[in-house]
Amino acid sequence: MSDTEKTMSQLFTFEHKARRWELLVRIFYSIAIAIVMIIYGFIAGILMFIQWFVILVLGRRSEGISNFIRGYLEYYVHVLSYTSWMTDKRPGIMPKSVKIFEEQAPDQ
């Protein structure tokens, strides 16, 4: 995918229309997502602890550990809109690469 084909979409938007049958599907789908999140989160937690020691001993961060933790946080934010009933668009059960950006609101 080229840079011109990449699109940005807001994850937490209001969708007026909702499908009723999606509520039932969401229960089972969310269980699968929860299992992946628990395993992924457990590994990320261990790596955060290891990263603490790496910083303490070496005075720098490990890029590989940071990338894994960032991947966990991006996946968590990515599935949050679905598991919080904000959208009917199902995220993948297995983590895929997404990038999360922060937009600063102008000072008023």
Determine the pLDDT at residue 83. 81
Give domain status of residue 2, yes or no: no
Give domain status of residue 1, yes or no: no
Please state the domain count of the chain: 1
CB under 8 Å to 71, separation ≥6 — which residues? Answer: 95, 97
Q: What is the mean pLDDT of residues 88-92?
A: 79
pLDDT over 90 (residue 30): no
Give domain status of residue 21, yes or no: no
Give domain status of residue 41, yes or no: yes
What residues make up the domain containing 76? 29-99
**What CA–CA distance (Å, rounded) separates 33 from 26?**
10
Confidence of residue 4 (pLDDT cuts 50, 70, 90): very low
Give domain status of residue 73, yes or no: yes
Give domain status of residue 55, yes or no: yes
* Most trustworthy range by pLDDT among 27-31, 38-42, 97-101: 38-42
Give domain status of residue 64, yes or no: yes
CB under 8 Å to 6, separation ≥6 — which residues? Answer: none
Where are the alpha helices (H) located in 1-108, listed in sequence order? Answer: 20-58, 63-83
User: For residue 36, which amino acid is it?
Assistant: V
Give domain status of residue 16, yes or no: no
Q: Does the pTM of the predicted model rise above 0.75?
A: no
CA 44 to chain centre: 13
In this predicted model, what pLDDT tens digit does every residue of 8-24 receive, in sequence order? 666 566 666 767 777 78
* Most trustworthy range by pLDDT among 2-6, 45-49, 97-101, 102-106: 45-49
